[in-house]
Structure 1
Amino acid sequence: MKLTSILLCSSIAFLAVAQDPLVVFFIDPTFDEYSGDAILVCTPGGRHYLIDGGMMSTWYPPWDCGAERILPLLDSLEVTYLDGIVGTHPDADHIGGLISVYGSMPVGTAWDSGWPYGGTWIYEDYLQAIWDNGADFVAPRRGDTLDWGPELIVEVLHPVEPLSPSSTNNASIVIRLTYDEVSFMFTGDLETNGGEDVVMAALATGEIDDLTSNVLKVAHHGSVSSSCTQWLALVDPSMAAICVGAGNPYGHPHDEVLDRLNGRNIDVFRTDLLGTFYISSDGQDVYFDTMPSQGGDPQPVSGFAVYPSPATSEANFTWDPEGSEECEITVYNLNGESILQASASGGVYTWDLVTPGGGLVSPGLYAAVFQTEGGAAYTEYFTVSR
């Protein structure tokens, strides 16, 4: 067994491993054939922002990403107030899940593309939810900056007037977020024709200063209609995050886009393969599913596992048993609360994902601490998706 010191497991300790980290969660939207975008930004100053909220549908099977994925994650992080929500554009797989979020907690500002051409009943219910919530409604345009705290520069790169009546995707709010030397680019469903080309033209004319970003949220779930070669060259990311449902019927992400990303040696992380994951930064570097330490080096985890989505009925923990030595297993949520305590030997333990109170464990991030009879211990972080 590889032994390390026990890592702190409470949400405060977990997120405080670094000095003032920026943490961005890319939330798994997977359910049946549904897909979507849902992103949570936790700023160095302690603010919280959502960018899109995944799908909501009353069709069969019914699904609400906000209620099933976003709110449990916010609850696990003890977030009871959102400083703002960005609804990048009015497609149901981006704003549908936000209806439940607006109905569940106070929100400071609602940034929306201001699509003027009408829409679906989901878009109408979403606008009503913003009204009922009392959040300030703002339709940002290129050149605007959003106040997400003094540590960050948040630039709006798109859209510009007039919005196209034929493409909600190209009305997407595109944001470049910068924390010291590190930038993230969030792109909604921006397409190459009528979207990326408009932003690149603004760069060429000096209306936009810079597109380079360490982390790119790949547009439109990895569709071939987005992420052209020139766009990737100008953004020049080292990491790419793709929000996409595992069962989506569109074949997202498309092989052509993956080839373009791989051709530039970009590290690609996908919610359909990994479930919910996060990327953190100390303003100097970026780290996948790990936190920067106070010394500037990443704080490694001993392992990372994602249970299939929809979740299986059980989860298997394995370790090197070192003979017949018994192991104590404790699972913590990000609040530092113990939700499972068990003893096992033989190097394997099966958990049915049921808490001691009899409830099914919520989707989210967890830490399993393994401690042997001899006092040695190590920690494994994992995500439960459903």
Structure 2
Amino acid sequence: MRYLYFVLVFMSHFTFALCPPERPEPVRITLTQQHTLQDSWLMFGETADHSSQLQLWEGYPGRLRAQLDLQNAGLPTQVQAKPLIEDANLDGVADFFWIMGIDGQLWRLGWQGGQFLPPQLMADLRDSGLKFLASAGLLRTRLPSTLAPLAWRQAEQQLALFIARDMVSGHDTLVMLRFALNHTTDNITQFSYLQDRTLLTAHEQTNPLAADDWRALLANAGWYVQFPGKVSATPNVIAGVIYAPVANTVHPDACVTEQTEQTLYALNLHTAAPIYAKRHQSIPYVPDANLALATDVNNQLVLVLSVDDVSIPVLDNLLKISKACHDCTEPLELDKYPLWRRLATYRSELGAY
């Protein structure tokens, strides 16, 4: 099987901004109805009596297909992070929805037979004291057995990325949660289980992680990094590297910055360790810009800030993590970059010849 952490993960194209919207935008998904694929929209709504609902629509706007009262289902009624969609069997159809409440409770609920299934609590991060404002992706990864810790029962993992905010300082924290692919235990992840990777030790700043330290980090339920400002665009994951731009604001509740520069963080997806010589560097601040991949005049891949039809290069000589060893990297080259990616595996089809 191809190692999945080399795949560019699709991230939403809407602008994150320094203050994300209070209600997440609808998420377009694919479901099956009577053996037919159908585009649907998952969103949060309210009834006439102002009770919060998780709603599934055929078309947007269109016909309401299913609804779930959040309070009656035990789900958080205050949700600001965009739901994450899981395709468990890689058939191109949504099987599970991940819902993160603003207080830090993460739930996973399935969809089967035209209805929502009972939710399962995956993580309870209320002990963090943070407000979870946005999601940054749900990734399915597979590590070689030579790199994965012995504590893992299976090589495939699901990694969920979220952005949380300290409402006193106004600074954001990037949180990565790790789950086994077929999570069936009742072990609920707490914030105290996560490894604080905000400050690296003096030794790690000048030396790569030892193999034993790498495996010890991966045996944890995840990690978090506290930023000295607000995330200004949706973090992007490219070939095992998380890129996150962070801008400073004057007041904790400010949604704009007066600075002309911001900081770009580049972190190893699995450990938050440095990929380049430093974990962060200064880049221009461009309002309403998104991070994206582009090619330069030499047909080399570069990271750009993109807004409208303008792209500003911010990082070249891109690297990707390598399966050769736990801290190995190699150049991200266009001729080796997976331009083709598997979108789905159709295990059974009707009407195909």
- Structure number with greater CO (CA < 8 Å, separation at least 6) is 1
Going by fraction, where is helix more abundant, 1 or 2?
A: 1
TM, length-normalised to structure 2: 0.34
TM, length-normalised to structure 1: 0.32
